[in-house]
Amino acid sequence: MAKDGIDISLLGDKQLQKALNALPVKVEKKIVRQAFVKGARPILKSIRALVPGSGEKHAMLRRGIKSRAGKRTRRASISRFILLPTRAFLGIPASAEHYWPAAVEYGHVARDGSFVAPRSFVRSGYDAKESEAFGIVKREIGDGVAKAWAGK
């Protein structure tokens, strides 16, 4: 029966995968969870920096962008999400038809019928820091595995 461990094959390091899977599941999860938190930071900073506009509502949007742990769907499942703020946080009434950050991200049709081009800050921010984030996650998992093995 195979051990119920965390699959990090996306990082492409088979030796790191073997060393991680040799640890107890509880230690594995802790190492990967901490690595994900650190890996999300550059993406989060990049997205916040790329929010277009300089008014108070854009500042609220920047402040409201957060990184949160994802809900576990399986026993050894860990995920991290970058979340945009809620309507309430931004002061958008519940009865409002549109969520304006989505209109900025994806573009929209203006009142006069013309199309306003998208100013994608979420996708651009992620794309700009994706490889850096993967590098941080890989390094942090390696450091965590080494530290766990040294403590045994």
pLDDT in tens, 5-14: 666 666 667 7
Full DSSP string of 120-149 = -SHHHHHHHHHHHHHHHHHHHHHHHHHHHH
pLDDT in tens, 52-80: 988 999 999 999 999 998 877 666 677 88
**Confidence at residue 11, expressed as pLDDT on a 0 to 100 scale:** 65
3-state secondary structure of 18: helix
Task: For Cα atoms 125, 81, 118, give the angle at the middle one, nearest 5 degrees.
Answer: 40
Q: What is the dihedral of CA 98, 106, 63, 86, to 10 degrees?
A: 30
Q: List, in sequence order, every residue forming a beta bridge with 140; answer none if it has no partner.
A: none
Are 75 and 3 a contacting pair, CB within 8 Å?
no
80-83 and 108-109: which strand pairing? Answer: unpaired
The yes-or-no verdict on residue 3 having pLDDT over 70 is no
- Domain ranges in the chain? 11-151
Give CA–CA dist 36/12, Å, rounded: 16
Q: How many CA atoms lie within 13 A of 108 on its CB side?
A: 11
Whole-prediction pTM value?
A: 0.84
**Confidence at residue 79, expressed as pLDDT on a 0 to 100 scale:** 81
